[in-house]
Structure 1
Amino acid sequence: MAKKKKKQKKSGNPLWTLVFLAALAVFCFSGYKLIGIYLNYRTGTDEYRDLQQYTTEITKTPETPVPTKTVDKSTKSEAMTGSEPEPAPLDYPATPPLEVDFDALKAINPDVKGWLYIEALDISYPVVQGTDNDAYLHTTYEGTSNFAGSIFLDYQNQGDFSDGNTIVYGHNMKNLSMFGKLKQIKEQEKYKDSVYFWMMTPESNDVYQIFSAFYTEADSDVYTLYSGGGEAFAQYLADMAARSEIPAAQPPMDENSHIITLSTCAASDTTGRFVVMGVRRNR
């Protein structure tokens, strides 16, 4: 009786095994990195959400209509002659949206300079200033190392927003935190909701009217500080207004104006920037 031949077990192609293991390793590593990025984003978001406890929303009360008076025609001309002219109505918000506890914020971080609030974009963050522009690039308000960093003033600016042009930086975060929503002013036409933003400080609450928003480069003349004002600054304001990529109304501006330039990256892989510029209106 002939012996039955034993069936040989076929082994898999070693090349395909190596490819599979390599792909699995890449998948696991990518998953690990994504989880790390998610946790990093969440840590930063949670920290800034907790800081909101040091702000109180100011409830706006409806304005009481001014009662109309019936003027006798016979005395109208006499009354008009001796009366003071009616004050021009405000064309900007007069009441700040938030009350900020700066004493509590300074206890956490004495580098705080103000609190930025942009109603149209739902942006509300403390603003700090370091000894250089790297100090808060990847460091949060509470000193944690985090890619989100902080919203911060250019280190060369005066911390009281008294320069002609004060520059405020923030990251263009993918989860739309920090200045991740700033481009919506143009792309989603959020300026139609409101053209004002507020900078609350320990000394004052100031409202700024957006007069320009556009894409530019990191080495652009946009980032000129103009601490002294003058004719050159007046020309700069006109040039910046002319560059606007949104149809913003032009508020009163001159060589004595004070503006804030909000700046963020246009994309992570370019030197492009997106800026929103507003001029102070209430003082």
Structure 2
Amino acid sequence: MMLGFLNSAARVGNKTLRIASSILAMLMLVFASYSILDTWYTERMAFSNWELVAYRPVSGDGTLSREMFDELSKINPDVVGWITVYGTNIDYPILQGPDDLYYVNRDIYGNSTLSGSIYLQSANSSDFSDEFNLLYGHHFDNGAMFGDVAKYTDPDFFDGHREGELITKDGICYLNFFVCIETDAYDSNIYGVTTIRDKMEDELLPTARKQVFFPLQVKGTSLDGDDEDEDPLGKGRPDHDWLLALSTCDDAETDGRVVIIADVTEGEESRTPSSGTASTGELRPGEGKWAVLNLMCVVFTLCCIVPFCMRYVNFRKEQIKTAEILGTVGVILASVVSLLLFRLTENMRSPMTLRDYWTPFMIFIFASALLVTALTDRKKKQRAQED
């Protein structure tokens, strides 16, 4: 009596486990598919589309097109300029909201979007008349929005992408980036600053000497602080020269920020880029970290092979059917793909993070292997009952 009860309970438990595994696998597949599509859509939408780029306020001869500026203002009256950094994906209109959160999750059309907009801090004048102006933009690993700003921590990338231009309602200005700083979101020497002389020389540059990734030169002046008598910002420059900073998130730290600062000079027309090559904008893994969830997915996917291995060990006792062979091939293929993807996208010598761009793909592969395992086991049980 007791033995029969235990056998019945075991069968119910096995059936419940198979159903739960199948449901879990399908839910994971749905979640992973949604995450992949949502990430793809968000990052694709983060790039300037052709329709928007057509409104770039530059005429055929390279001079400022006030007509195009008027058209941009009709789309959104908060448009205050356009920024282009040669050889990067940075080619966007600039907006300015009533506060520094308004355009965090709004596009130029006023629609809600995770990519947000490139926007000028609310403390600055909309005509860029301040000595120090700060632009915000989200960081995307594929280079959209201000994703390429984080790449300036690489000296080679910095040297190849030091030039750009800022288009305002008053004309075209040339940008020459001269420093890259790693800081945090609460650095009062950068955020909320609108003047150069009061803050920049006394507070920002001494801080930058500690945080800057590599010594750079601006008009022959060193920023590495070797000579305390040097003038890092060039006091003898014309009064109309000013600075423009681009700020984005640093994925390696929760409140980390990467800021690049450009010396701005007035120009007459849009000029041909003299350095750098355009980024392809292809999807690529995040840099400088590896995801622990991805490693867990690889391990769990490999574990799905174990039941199939046990069946082949006992192949003399039970006949292996075609469905089980196909299931084995499917799980092995999923394991190989999982291992290769992890090997190509993750560097375990880098700092660890919970998830990254590739996590939904790894979950999708694991869920596929789990579903194949559950379905194959179900086929085996059905065959056993028929026999």
Question: Which TM-score bucket, shorter chain as reference?
Answer: 0.7 to 0.9
2:259 matched residue in structure 1: 275
> Is the 8 Å Cα contact of residues 89 and 144 (structure 2) preserved in structure 1?
no
Question: SS at the partner of 1:246?
Answer: coil
Structure with higher helix content: 2
Superposed structure 1 runs of 4+ greater than 6 Å apart = 56-60
**Compared CA separation, residues 178 and 239, structure 1 to 2 (3 A):** same
Amino acid at match of 1:246: F
1:249 matched residue in structure 2: 217
> Is the 8 Å Cα contact of residues 171 and 265 (structure 1) preserved in structure 2?
yes
Amino acid at match of 2:178: F
* TM-score of the pair, normalised by structure 1: 0.73
Q: How far 1:44 moved relative to its partner?
A: 4.0
RMSD: 3.0
Q: How does 1:203-282 map to 2 (within 5 A)?
A: 203-236=170-203, 238-239=205-206, 242=209, 243-251=211-219, 253-254=234-235, 258-267=242-251, 270-282=254-266
> Is the 8 Å Cα contact of residues 215 and 274 (structure 1) preserved in structure 2?
yes
**Compared CA separation, residues 200 and 246, structure 1 to 2 (3 A):** farther
> Is the 8 Å Cα contact of residues 129 and 153 (structure 1) preserved in structure 2?
yes
2:272 matched residue in structure 1: none
> Is the 8 Å Cα contact of residues 212 and 244 (structure 1) preserved in structure 2?
yes
**Compared CA separation, residues 239 and 209, structure 1 to 2 (3 A):** farther
Amino acid at match of 2:217: A
Amino acid at match of 1:274: V
Question: SS at the partner of 1:281?
Answer: strand
Q: How far 1:225 moved relative to its partner?
A: 3.9
Q: 1:173 aligns with which of 140, 145, 163?
A: 140
Deviation string for 1:34-75 (max 9, x for gaps)? 223322333443x64321101277789xxxxxxxxxxxxxxx
Distance 1:272 1:158 in 2: 26
1:87 matched residue in structure 2: none
**Compared CA separation, residues 191 and 59, structure 1 to 2 (3 A):** farther
Distance 1:224 1:41 in 2: 26
1:76 matched residue in structure 2: none
1:40 matched residue in structure 2: 42
Aligned residues: 239
Distance 1:172 1:29 in 2: 23
Deviation string for 1:208-249 (max 9, x for gaps)? 221210211111134244435445443245336534323321
The sequence identity of aligned pairs, in percent, is 24
Amino acid at match of 1:220: D
Distance 1:246 1:120 in 2: 21
Distance 2:162 2:45 in 1: 31
Distance 2:23 2:244 in 1: 53
Distance 1:59 1:253 in 2: 35
Distance 2:131 2:56 in 1: 28
* TM-score of the pair, normalised by structure 2: 0.55
Structure with higher strand content: 1
Which has the larger displacement, 34-43 or 209-218? Answer: 34-43
Distance 2:143 2:173 in 1: 25
1:191 matched residue in structure 2: 158
Q: How far 1:259 moved relative to its partner?
A: 1.1
Q: How far 1:258 moved relative to its partner?
A: 1.9
Amino acid at match of 2:260: V
> Is the 8 Å Cα contact of residues 189 and 200 (structure 2) preserved in structure 1?
no
Q: How far 1:99 moved relative to its partner?
A: 5.3
Distance 1:240 1:196 in 2: 24
Question: SS at the partner of 2:261?
Answer: strand
Residue ranges of structure 2 left out of the alignment (5+ in a row): 1-7, 220-232, 268-387
Q: How far 1:187 moved relative to its partner?
A: 2.5
Residue ranges of structure 1 left out of the alignment (5+ in a row): 1-7, 61-94
